[in-house]
Structure 1
Amino acid sequence: MKYKGPNVTQDIHKLVNKTAVDKKWYAVQTKIKSEQLVCQRIEIDKEKGVIEVEVYLPLIKENNNFKPLFNGYIFVKHTQDEIHKIRYLPGVKDYVRFGLYPTSIPENQISLMEKIESSFNDVTTVDSYLVKGCKVQIIKGVLAGRKGVLTETTKNKKIAIAIDNFGKSVLISMPVTDVVEIETI
């Protein structure tokens, strides 16, 4: 009778190939001003062979100093098995999650950030996904359901919207949370 048990060599080969393929990018939230310290800790643990993680901290130049493009966030690429090792590092708050599970970030978005970081000197971020010129719909208040064009955003999380009314634009200011984007420019 022939032995029909698992082929250990084949299983190990599948496992090695699976780990390389299953590496995904994740956003990790860090404690305030701890991005670089967390990255350094990951690199130290990587050199020791404790973890197999690629780490990325996008930086922008501001007043001859470099600062994180996204305050309080770093990006890590690893398998599911490494999540707990990163999660409990000093300076880490948690993974960015959708429900219970860390949300992976597509490789092309990380590549885009790398290209932007290396190609442009004057990069800034906006707290909102809404940008000047995009079409929005008001979802709260007496104007709920009306559509307009975003004309301005301010640091205090307010936006100005032009709404056509009787052939004229009425410019109103409201909280950014009162609108949703309906068409990207």
Structure 2
Amino acid sequence: MKRWYLLYCKRGEQVRAKQHLENQGVECFYPTVGVEKILRGKRQKVEEPLFPCYVFAYFDYEQGPNFTSVRSTRGVVDFVRFGAQPKEVQGDLVFELMQLEKCCNDNTVSECMPKPGDQIRVKSGQFAGIDAIFQEQDGEKRSIMLVQMITKRVPVSIDNSDLDLK
């Protein structure tokens, strides 16, 4: 009977371990979640692992590959164990994680910075709570904003992470 097991992998080799396990006929699940990051001055969606260094494997060790061959797969360090035997993971938990991953990855993210003249709210930093007008990018991580100071608008360079870029 097939069961889910949790494998601990070498850092950065989870995808390789997953590919090699699938070549052996082992069904694998490596949950990732889309995360918003500002890369090269643009807001982008990047896939990051939900559980770094861990891969779920679904196989029947009596009829398919045994524990030793799975554990010796390139990129795999060992099974997650409680005692001497690898502990199986409840299938319901894995299916719930699959649904969570599918739900989270369906959300779309705007991938561009605002256009000059767009009204932006500063969410943190020294200008927190102030509405400003986007003027231009100032390198990869900062933007020049026009902030109302008493009687005139003054250009100020603000970190992109401080802006509310919805």
Higher relative contact order (CA 8 A, sep 6+): 2
User: Could you tell me how far apart the structure 2 residues matched to 1:42 and 1:80 are?
Assistant: 13
Q: Match of 1:31?
A: 10
Equivalent runs, 1:22-171 vs 2, <5 Å: 22-46=1-25, 53-62=26-35, 63-81=44-62, 82-121=66-105
TM-score w.r.t. structure 1 length? 0.48
User: Could you tell me how far apart the structure 2 residues matched to 1:111 and 1:94 are?
Assistant: 22
Deviations 1:41-98 (A, max 9, x none): 122233xxxxxx2111111112422121100000001123421111001111100001
Deviations 1:101-159 (A, max 9, x none): 1000111001100111111249xxxxxxxxxxxxxxxxxxxxxxxxxxxxxxxxxxxxx
Greater strand proportion: 2
Contact 2:34 2:104 in 1 (8 A): no
User: Could you tell me how far apart the structure 1 residues matched to 2:105 and 2:71 are?
Assistant: 32
Q: Which SS does the other structure have where 1:120 is aligned?
A: helix
Change in Cα spacing, 1:33 to 1:103, as seen in structure 2 (3 Å) is: same
**Aligned-residue offset at 1:37:** 0.6
Structural RMSD (CA): 1.9
Mark the runs of 5 or more structure 1 residues left unpaired by the alignment: 1-21, 47-52, 123-185
Mark the runs of 5 or more structure 2 residues left unpaired by the alignment: 36-43, 107-166
Aligned partner letter, 1:35: Q
Total equivalences in the alignment: 96
Q: Match of 1:9?
A: none
Runs of 4+ deviating beyond 6 Å: none
Q: Which SS does the other structure have where 1:32 is aligned?
A: coil
Aligned partner letter, 1:45: Q
User: Could you tell me how far apart the structure 1 residues matched to 2:2 and 2:24 are?
Assistant: 18
